[in-house]
């Protein structure tokens, strides 16, 4: 039995690193801890329970956990009852070693243990012993309802967890475990419940959403079709998709339900060279990727594309990097998220000897971003003097300005009336930049 008074008159503070998946997990942790009566607080010094929701994807992840927890040393002396825990990918990866290395820590819980958080906190309080819970629960079905305190107009819904792809640069399969999908019927109910709370847009979230497979056999295209047809949700987005699993069936469903499924596709290419892609274990060649991107734009004309690119992967030659540069001329990416390769624990590529110097990687990154900046400004011109459909997410009383995202995922600002939040409005674009649009609301 969990005591629902455990957190009475106590505050919880969670600091979050990393991706949207972690942001979502933090929201889940707050909701679970509110069930124990913990109140979220905005600064660590007001907390009785501090959680660091860690990320392994950035540089020196373990070091970051050490330094953040270290900052709470004085607080712990002042408040001996203060409990400090680490969750997320570093917790999953390091497990009880973290407790040994960071003596200030009271508990460590992995990415599959979030729903056990109330029990972990209760055990911690009852026994006053340190707690570690970081086992993967591969055999358990993935049945988690979306837990979000104030979902607002737009919210995230996890549909898959983990990844089986083992790209040679990526730590996710080691920190999030094998891929599992939520059942389609649960997702339909979850989204229906969110619409009853005022949600107009959901972003379906997973490491590789388009390898989604429900226990009833439905694939990602069929899930999208069911959500668009059988729920009152107004807008559907998704991230992240894998090019090797992006097929014509999915694009056709997106086109058929374009009134609800947004015409923005993030399709991470990582490299424009087929040999590098093979070393990355991505499962497609440059030519196959380009064919897919063209197929998407043929079936869904006007859709916006974005991508992720890694420069300076081990062994990447100058010529191979030039293939990534020329890919920008082949695929009209409206935005790119580009990074220098950096080795991650457990991954194959981290053990290869042909690592590039940081200087070389920085030069390549600079060239890539510089070239894309010009392309993005050119591509943004297509929105100039065009009408875009925007779901209003925020209104600023002081300036009278509202903002929201266009169907192509552009943050759009315009002068508006209050009470427009949650409405979908038409905006005539007067100024178009790569990331944002400014326009006039068409009443």
Q: Does 372 bind ligand SF4 (CB under 6 A)?
A: no
Binding flag, residue 10, ligand SF4 (CB under 6 A): no
- Least separation in angstroms between residue 134's CB and ligand SF4 is 19
Q: Toward ligand SF4, which CB reaches closer, 211 or 403?
A: 211
Cβ–Cβ under 8 Å, residues 313 and 279 = yes
> Cβ 167 to ligand SF4, closest distance in Å?
3
Nearer Cβ to ligand SF4 (182/242): 242
- The nearer residue to ligand SF4, 242 or 410, going by C-beta atoms, is 242
The residue from 167, 204, 327, 331 that contacts ligand SF4 (CB under 6 A) is: 167
User: Looking at 103-111, 169-177, 246-254, 319-327, which segment touches ligand SF4 (CB under 6 A)?
Assistant: 169-177
Candidate ranges 31-39, 162-170, 336-344, 418-426; the one touching ligand SF4 (CB under 6 A): 162-170
**Single residue of 165, 255, 369, 371 touching ligand SF4 by CB under 6 A:** 165
* Minimum CB distance to ligand SF4 smaller for 278 or for 299: 278
Which residues face 413 on adjacent strands? 403, 438
Applying CB under 6 A, does 172 fall inside the site for ligand SF4? yes
Query: With CB under 6 A, what is the number of residues at the site for ligand SF4?
Result: 10
| Of 2-10, 41-49, 72-80, 163-171: span binding ligand SF4 (CB under 6 A) | 163-171
Smallest gap from Cβ 169 to ligand SF4, in A, equals 7
Told to check if 242 binds ligand SF4 by CB under 6 A, we report yes
208 binds ligand SF4 (CB under 6 A): yes
Residue 166 makes contact with ligand SF4 by CB under 6 A: yes
Selected from 55, 121, 147, 170, the binder of ligand SF4 by CB under 6 A is 170
Q: Identify which of 10, 52, 53 has the alpha carbon closest to the alpha carbon of residue 33.
A: 10
Rounded to whole angstroms, the Cα distance separating 83 from 104 reads: 9
Which of 207, 219, 241, 338 is the binder for ligand SF4 (CB under 6 A)?
A: 207
Q: In whole angstroms, how close is the CB of 17 to ligand SF4 at the nearest point?
A: 17
Of residues 295 through 334, those in contact with ligand SF4 by CB under 6 A are none
Sole window of 83-91, 164-172, 271-279, 318-326 interacting with ligand SF4 (rule: CB under 6 A): 164-172
CA angle 402, 408, 409 (to 5 degrees): 50
Tell me which residues touch ligand SF4 (CB under 6 A).
163, 165-167, 170, 172-173, 207-208, 242
């Amino acid at each position: 039995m969990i005591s629902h008074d455990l957190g009475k008159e106590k505050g919880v503070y969670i600091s979050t690193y990393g991706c949207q998946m972690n942001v979502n997990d933090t929201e889940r942790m707050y909701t679970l801890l509110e069930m124990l009566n913990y109140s979220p607080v905005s600064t660590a010094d007001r907390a009785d329970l501090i959680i660091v929701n860690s990320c392994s994807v950035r540089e020196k992840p373990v070091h970051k956990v050490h330094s953040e927890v270290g900052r709470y040393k004085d607080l712990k002396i002042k408040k001996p009852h203060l409990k400090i825990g680490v969750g997320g990918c570093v917790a999953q990866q390091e497990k009880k070693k973290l407790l040994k290395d960071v003596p200030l820590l009271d508990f460590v819980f992995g990415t599959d243990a979030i729903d056990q958080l109330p029990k972990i906190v209760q055990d911690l309080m009852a026994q006053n012993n340190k707690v570690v819970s970081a086992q993967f629960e591969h055999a358990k079905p993935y049945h988690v309802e979306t837990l979000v305190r104030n979902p607002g107009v737009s919210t995230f819904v996890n549909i898959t967890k983990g990844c089986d792809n083992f790209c040679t640069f990526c730590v996710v399969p080691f920190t999030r475990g094998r891929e599992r999908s939520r059942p389609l019927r649960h997702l339909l109910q979850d989204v229906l419940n969110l619409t009853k709370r005022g949600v107009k847009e959901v972003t379906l979230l997973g490491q590789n959403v388009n390898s989604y497979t429900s226990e009833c056999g439905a694939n990602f295209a069929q899930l999208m079709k069911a959500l668009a047809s059988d729920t009152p949700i107004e807008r559907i987005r998704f991230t992240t998709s894998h090019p090797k699993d992006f097929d014509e069936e999915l694009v056709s469903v997106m086109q058929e339900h374009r009134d609800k499924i947004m015409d923005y596709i993030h399709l991470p290419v990582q490299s424009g060279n087929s040999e590098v892609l093979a070393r990355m274990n991505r499962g497609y060649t440059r030519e196959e990727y380009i064919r897919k991107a063209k197929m998407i734009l043929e079936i869904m004309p006007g859709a916006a594309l974005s991508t992720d690119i890694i420069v300076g992967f081990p062994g990447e030659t100058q010529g191979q990097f030039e293939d990534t540069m020329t890919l920008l001329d082949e695929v009209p990416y409206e935005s790119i998220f580009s990074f220098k390769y950096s080795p991650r624990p457990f991954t194959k590529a981290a053990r290869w000897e042909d690592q590039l110097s940081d200087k070389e990687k920085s030069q390549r990154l600079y060239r890539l971003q510089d070239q894309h900046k010009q392309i993005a400004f050119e591509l943004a011109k297509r929105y100039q003097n065009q009408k875009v459909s925007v779901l209003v997410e925020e209104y600023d009383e002081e300036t009278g300005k509202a903002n929201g995202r266009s169907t192509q995922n552009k943050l759009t600002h315009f002068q508006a009336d209050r009470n427009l939040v949650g409405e979908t409005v038409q905006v005539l674009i007067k100024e178009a930049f790569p990331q944002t649009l400014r326009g006039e609301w068409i009443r």
